[in-house]
Structure 1
Amino acid sequence: MTTSSEAIEIAVEKGKVAGTVLSPEARKPGVLFVHGWGGSQESDLIRAKRIAALGCICLTFDLRGHGDTLAQQQTVSRADNLRDVIAAYDVLANNPDIDRSAIAVMGNSYGAYLASILSTQRPVKWLALSVPALYRDAEWDVPKRQLDREDLAEYRSMQVISSENRALAACAQFEGDVLLVEAEHDHLVPHETIMNYRRAFEKAHSMTHRIVDGADHAMTSEICQQAYTSVLSAWAIEMIVGRRVGFMESSMLRAP
């Protein structure tokens, strides 16, 4: 299946961020990609093209402080970036070819943290979190660059219950399907953080936990990148494509 791409601008408060809409010939579910801190939509485009080819409308975009707005990285806060994610979601959801009841969000690291919180602000059916970062609720409006890295490292090595953290509380409310991807040798998001997320998803319809062997946080090697792409694609085929095909077939069988 061929795909087309369109560069767009997403209005956020007084500024704009760049995005790219990738659309298949047959348009049904929507998939929003949220990149990590220090990344950009470029890191998502290869996987977005593969998911779009499965029959989804995909949207990648640059959080403020990244891409063309890199100059804002010293001042942008988590509150600012959550507004970016919400604005991007709304652009995707307002596409006339989107099924608004079938939207997936795929986040990486910082983007996965924001994606978790987004699920309490907008309808999300599928949630894919790759090496999801975790932050204390305090200093929500403080520029992210000013957060204490040593304190973050300590916090991420602790067991945190869902009622004590905004992102984990969002996960505890989520009732859709979840993919949780862990990097085996992650020095930024340790195993305990991953388990904090996993334990939080107590109401999830399904939980898939995959570990990319030999991977660091950024999944630097080409082998690890390929492994992660394969995990994401396989999950999308099973959950998004497969489940929708099954629903359509059952609906046809019930039709008079």
Structure 2
Amino acid sequence: MSDGRGKVTIGVDGQKIEGTILAPEKLVPGILFVHGWGGSQAQDLRRARKISRLGCLCFTFDLRGHAATEPMRERVTREENLNDLCAAYDFLAGQPQVDKSAIAVVGSSYGGYLAAILTSMRPVNWLALRVPALYRDEDWETPKAALDRDDLNKYRQTWLSYSDNRALRACSEFEGDVLIVESECDEMVPHPAVGGYMASFRSARSLTYRVLKGADHALSTEKDRAAYNKILNGWVTNMVLGARMGD
């Protein structure tokens, strides 16, 4: 449902999540943004606005447990947030202007983890992951906020094969183009976790890897945010222009 101003609500599991859709006059690809745990779509709106000028329909949204539904934070599960992402994808893919063969998903941290899994459930042509997090397959229906942080930290320090993790298994089967951006001084998603993602993309059409020097997990400085925005915008531009040249 849309209010005619770009704000939309999507029904999922008997509840609602909120999003914002941005579209230029000429539309071809659809770009879906997935924020991280504790974030919101507000963090992606600036990037989405710029990328929409390339001729893309960009869609940002709030996972349950965030923004307007923050009171749910302590009880929302990964399963429910994955359902949110599927619902957001289906909404974007259902827009009449969107080329369903040219959909990109851009995920950060927890959103990157969910985005990786999404590729095993929905068609995705381009996948951009910034500091993608990793979680054990176990306790899938345990509230996300209740997961053992110390255990997660140890798990992310382990070099994992794609056969060891659901998100990495999805990556191993992905055949589109991939961008992975790592923060050099990431205190939450260390290099072994990012390396596990990189090693898992065995079938990807292309894999681009960038490291933000001196950046932390949250991109706390404007300089780091600008550097990431430049990388993402450049990569999406190359993907979109390449697709148009192939038409």
TM-score bucket (shorter structure): over 0.9
Aligned to 1:151: 151
Aligned to 1:129: 129
Q: Contact 1:5/1:23 (CA < 8 Å) preserved in 2?
A: no
> Percent sequence identity over matched residues?
52
Counterpart amino acid of 2:219? M
Q: 1:95 to 1:168 in 2, by over 3 A?
A: same
Q: 1:132 to 1:247 in 2, by over 3 A?
A: same
Is residue 53 from structure 1 mapped to residue 53 from structure 2 by the alignment? Answer: yes
Stretches (4+) displaced over 6 A:
none
Structure 1's unaligned 5+ residue stretches are 249-256
Counterpart amino acid of 2:58? C
Q: What SS is found at the alignment partner of 1:71?
A: helix
Q: What SS is found at the alignment partner of 1:24?
A: coil
Q: 1:227 to 1:207 in 2, by over 3 A?
A: same
Aligned to 1:97: 97
**Match runs of 1:185-224 below 5 Å:** 185-224=185-224
Structure 2's unaligned 5+ residue stretches are none
Instruction: Look at both structures and tell me which one has the larger radius of gyration over its CA atoms.
Output: 1
Matched positions, count: 244
Counterpart amino acid of 2:189? V
In structure 2, C-alpha distance between the alignment counterparts of 1:73 and 1:180, rounded to whole Å: 27
In structure 1, C-alpha distance between the alignment counterparts of 2:141 and 2:210, rounded to whole Å: 33
Offset from partner CA, 1:120-177 (integer Å, 9 cap, x none): 1000000000000000000000000110000000000001110110000000000000
Q: 1:104 to 1:5 in 2, by over 3 A?
A: farther
Aligned to 1:14: 14
Aligned to 1:181: 181
Note the aligned Cα RMSD (angstroms).
Answer: 0.9
Aligned to 1:69: 69
Offset from partner CA, 1:6-30 (integer Å, 9 cap, x none): 0000111111011000001101100
In structure 2, C-alpha distance between the alignment counterparts of 1:232 and 1:83, rounded to whole Å: 25
Q: 1:55 to 1:82 in 2, by over 3 A?
A: same
Counterpart amino acid of 2:143? P
TM-score for the superposition, normalised by structure 2:
0.98
Counterpart amino acid of 1:98? V
Q: What SS is found at the alignment partner of 2:120?
A: coil
Aligned to 1:246: 245
TM-score for the superposition, normalised by structure 1:
0.94
In structure 2, C-alpha distance between the alignment counterparts of 1:25 and 1:211, rounded to whole Å: 34
Q: Contact 1:181/1:212 (CA < 8 Å) preserved in 2?
A: yes
Q: Contact 1:11/1:17 (CA < 8 Å) preserved in 2?
A: yes
Aligned to 1:254: none
In structure 2, C-alpha distance between the alignment counterparts of 1:132 and 1:78, rounded to whole Å: 15
Counterpart amino acid of 1:113? Y
Offset from partner CA, 1:9-53 (integer Å, 9 cap, x none): 011111101100000110110000000000000000000001101
